[in-house]
Structure 1
Amino acid sequence: MSELNLKTISPESKSENSQNGQLADIAIIEAQGNARFNRLGWKRLTVVLIVEAIALGALSIPSAFATLGMVAGVITTVGLGFVAIYTSYVVGQVKLAFPHVAHYADAGRLLMGRFGYELIGAMFALELIFLVGSHCLTGSIALLNISNNAICSLAFGVVSAIVLLILALPPSFAEVAILGYIDFVSVMLAIGITIVATGVSYGKAGGMSNWSAWPKDNLGFTEAFIAITNIVFAYSFAVCQFSFMDEMHTPKDYVKSIWALGLIEIFIYTLTGALIYAFVGPDVASPALLSAGNLMAKIAFGVALPVIFISGSINGTVVARYIHGRIYKDSVTRFINTKKGWITWIALISVITLVAWVIAEAIPFFSDLLSICSALFISGFTFYFPAMMWFKLIRKGKWYSRENLFLSIVNAIIFVIGMIVLVGGTYSAIDDIKNQYKAGTVRGAFTCAPLE
């Protein structure tokens, strides 16, 4: 046999061929993964941001208007909306300047090193898990309302958690965007039904609702600040922006998305808050669809089920992508297109949903705890972190130079707003918890009693 043939069948040659084959397989998996997670255009990004940002929180705006009055309510809603658009623009500029930033935690590393990465990563994960829990609780309330408290609220809580888990399973945001159209129609119909129903009631009452242009009488700090934070947290879409932009095939197009989303939010929130408050008056409920009458509230809750579960599930997807990507940073498992990838992904989504459900059911003052977390975290994600990013990562030259002075003042003001929300929001939520305990209105943990 020739020397050439001997070399062809040698064990070393077989081993080398096997290695080359494995490398080729890994390259194929990576190519497929990269292609799967780079399909988001600016229109789909807008839809995904709408899914994450606009939920039944829009129907808490009328009660904020009832507290602040029509004038302050409109000014606060419009003003904070434009601030949120600007801070999201800054977040996008950081992503363009540092393409490796895949989640907010990565931006934390740029700001404060390893400490910033761990701190903001923990804030990011906690906020999103609590938001999943919030939607689980909202789903339970909706199902109880629709069914006239037919079964134990814990059972509806489990049903809500299962639905959230299933909807969070698609790992790509481009896949979630398909559900976004259903989500948007759902929330618009729920808001529309509520506006029409309250408007009809207003007409039957002879056009009397006693709404006021000015803040309510004897308004205390806690009540006023909770109303403001309800509006602040409605504009919290920047928290997931890095995660969504990481899947864009043309990241520079993000500006179109944040302007589209921001203007849509300002329009929806201002119109919803002003009209429903004008129709119902100072006694408007939160969420406002509870002011639409018993039958119409059931219809509105039924129509709102898609937005409750779709908007809640995307928070689970985002936090799972962050944790999964961190664990399997240097492995093809991170692409979730292998057997191991799917097993670990499903397990992680299940754990996140379970933890969110347990927290929501176990903590008797969960709504206020969520307000505390939002005050602690959203104040940073939407306000003072973007301001810090501009000063440290985006600004070129001295802050007081002619070309930087105006934006330096703007970002300093935004930083101060973030600090005020952080301190005032946390104090107000804690004070409200104390008042609930004094009044004896704190519900029990893991109870079958109807939720309020």
Structure 2
Amino acid sequence: MADDIATVPAFSGSKKNKKDVPYTSPEDGMDIMEVANEGQVDQLKKIAADGNAHFHRLGWKRLTIVTIVEAVALGALSLPAAFHTLGMFLGVLLSVLLGVATIFTSYIIGQVKLKHPEILHYADAGRMLLGRFGYELFGAAFVLELLFVVGSHALTGSIALVTINGGKVCSIAFSAVSAVILLILAIPPSFSEVAILGYVDFVSIVAAIGITIIATGIQGTNSPGGLSSIEWTVWPKEDLSFSKAFVSVSNIVLAYSFAIGQFSFMDEMHTPRDYMKSIWASVSIQIVIYTLTGAICYAFIGPNVQSPALLSAGNLVSKIAFGVALPVIFISGSINTTVALRYVHGRMFKNSVARYVNTPLGWSTWIGLVTIFTILAWIIAEAIPIFSDLLSICSSLFVSGFSFYIPAVMWFVMLREGKGMQRTTSP
């Protein structure tokens, strides 16, 4: 009974006079029923107030870390191979231009959130665009995209553990181990808590990339003819097929995939208007990491570059790099589970304090959902065991829309004011 806010019974002294009188809590906007047992109402209010405070602790600095955690891991590891396919010029150009476009579309998403604070997740924006159909469509795509991304992290974790182990244990076993780690790390339901792990995540990916760049640079220098003999190209390969080019472009698009969680992240901010500080910081860091990682690794390795890029550093160094990269693989993967299930769990318990995940019912259902979601992601990882192809499927199906063209539609429908050439953006 204490978990359900919407159905607390009121009692006025006799069965004949028993009734439910709605009461609106000004603190959290939830409907609470007046009851004779004031202690029970006070308890519900306290649970709701504590939960509401717990989920509004995110500042712009931690949001910067969260958005980096959301995007950088898989993006950085897949880019050198994409540069090889597209050529150095297009690889660098797309990394920079898509980053700049991400800043603009993230600005639009943030403006929509500020104008419509009732939007908690991307699915709610779908409702405002297309009604109930849009809510269900966007909600399904939202969950599926994040499910695929978590599957990608399970696959990457399996590749990492197999590499470290030297292939002595079946990859399916390591894939299952990866899924268990992803499950455990996804148990904290608040993004402010995830942000604490995000600092470890960021150091991990920078260190792993640094090790890979240094190792491949040394290998290239020691190869016959030195670095000048590495056969990297400025332009795409002459025999490049559409499908290979599409996979490579999609992998770069996926590198800027954090927009899918931006509504969810901003909903936890204690000062949502600060969101652009985090966007500028986060995307600037991402552009630098992606461009330098893709260009330098490709220049040092040439046509033999692999995906993920850590496999190109040689047997011993790959083991070291993957060991250093384990935190980013699993922490970045787990945050996608949190983003997806905050929407699912919140929808299940819309009118209950269980949605704050601070009651027995809240915790039990949250952990149950995390378990189911992670198992499904693991199944996807086993069904599509090719790293670049799995990332490309995620990107082409979902990320391009959530990150780029849907925000443009939102501007026209939800922010635009005025008519004709006098149309302006509503603050």
Q: Which amino acid aligns with 1:281?
A: G
Residue of structure 2 in register with 1:290 after alignment: 311
Change in CA separation of 1:191 and 1:254 when aligned onto 2, cut-off 3 Å: same
Assess if the C-alpha contact under 8 Å between 1:56 and 1:307 holds in 2. no
For 1:380-419, list aligned pairs within 5 A: 380-398=401-419, 400-402=420-422, 404=424
* Structure 1 CA distance for aligned equivalents of residues 346 and 274 of structure 2: 25
Cα offset for 1:56? 3.4
Of the three residues 201, 204, 207, the one matched with 1:189 is: 207
Residue pair 1:142, 1:305 contacting (<8 A) in 2 also: yes
2:239 corresponding residue in structure 1: 218
The Cα shift of 1:18 comes to 4.9
Partner of residue 141, structure 2? 123
Normalized against structure 1, the TM-score is what?
0.84
**Aligned AA for 1:401?**
M
Q: Which residues of 2 match residues 202-217 of structure 1 at below 5 A?
A: 202-205=220-223, 206-207=226-227, 208-217=229-238
Unpaired segments of 5 or more residues in structure 2?
Answer: 1-11, 19-33
C-alpha contact 1:48 1:173 (8 A) present in aligned 2: yes
Could you tell me whether the CA contact under 8 Å between 2:35 and 2:41 is conserved in 1?
Answer: no
* TM-superposed deviation, 1:357: 1.2
What secondary structure sits across from 2:235 in the alignment? coil
Moved more, 363-372 or 386-395: 363-372
- CA distance in 1 between partners of 2:50 and 2:382 (Å): 40
Task: Kindly state the Cα deviation for residue 348 of structure 1 after the two structures are TM-superposed.
Answer: 0.9
Residues 332-411 of structure 1 correspond to what in structure 2 (within 5 A)?
A: 332-363=353-384, 368=389, 370-398=391-419, 400-402=420-422, 404=424
For residues 288 and 383 of structure 1, do their structure 2 counterparts lie closer, same or farther at Cα, with a shift above 3 Å needed? same
Deviations 1:4-23 (A, max 9, x none): xxxxxxx939x998521111
Map 1:9-158 onto structure 2 (within 5 A). 12=13, 18-158=36-176
Aligned residues, how many? 394
Q: How far apart, in 1, do the equivalents of 2:375 and 2:214 lie? A: 37
The one-letter amino acid of 1:23's match is: V
Deviations 1:215-246 (A, max 9, x none): 22222222222211111111111001111110
TM-score, normalization: structure 2?
0.89
Q: Does the CA-based 8 Å contact 1:138-1:308 persist in structure 2? A: yes
Alpha-carbon distance in 2 for matches of 1:328, 1:110: 21
Which structure 1 residue ranges, 5 or more long, are not aligned? 1-10, 408-452
Contact map agreement 1:134 1:367 (CA 8 A) in 2: no
Quote the offset at 1:403 in angstroms.
5.6
Distance 1:364 1:268, change over 3 A: closer
Greater Cα shift, 326-335 or 212-221: 212-221
CA distance in 2, matches of 1:278, 1:364: 27
Over 3 Å counting, the alpha-carbon distance change for 1:17 and 1:256 in structure 2 is closer
Verify the 8 A CA contact 2:90 2:235 in the aligned structure 1: yes
Query: Could you tell me which of 344, 356, 368 is aligned with 1:323?
Result: 344
Partners of 1:212 and 1:365 in 2: how far apart? 25
Contact 2:345 2:366 in 1 (8 A): yes
Contact 1:94 1:394 in 2 (8 A): yes
What is the rounded CA distance, in whole Å, between the counterparts of 2:138 and 2:387 in structure 1? 22
What is the rounded CA distance, in whole Å, between the counterparts of 2:361 and 2:74 in structure 1?
A: 36
Residues 77 and 308 in structure 2, CA contact (< 8 A), matched pair in contact too: yes
**Per-residue displacement from partner, 1:328-386 (whole Å, max 9, x unpaired)?**
00011101111111111111111111111122224566863552342121111011110
Identity %: 64
Say if 2:291 is the partner of 1:270: yes
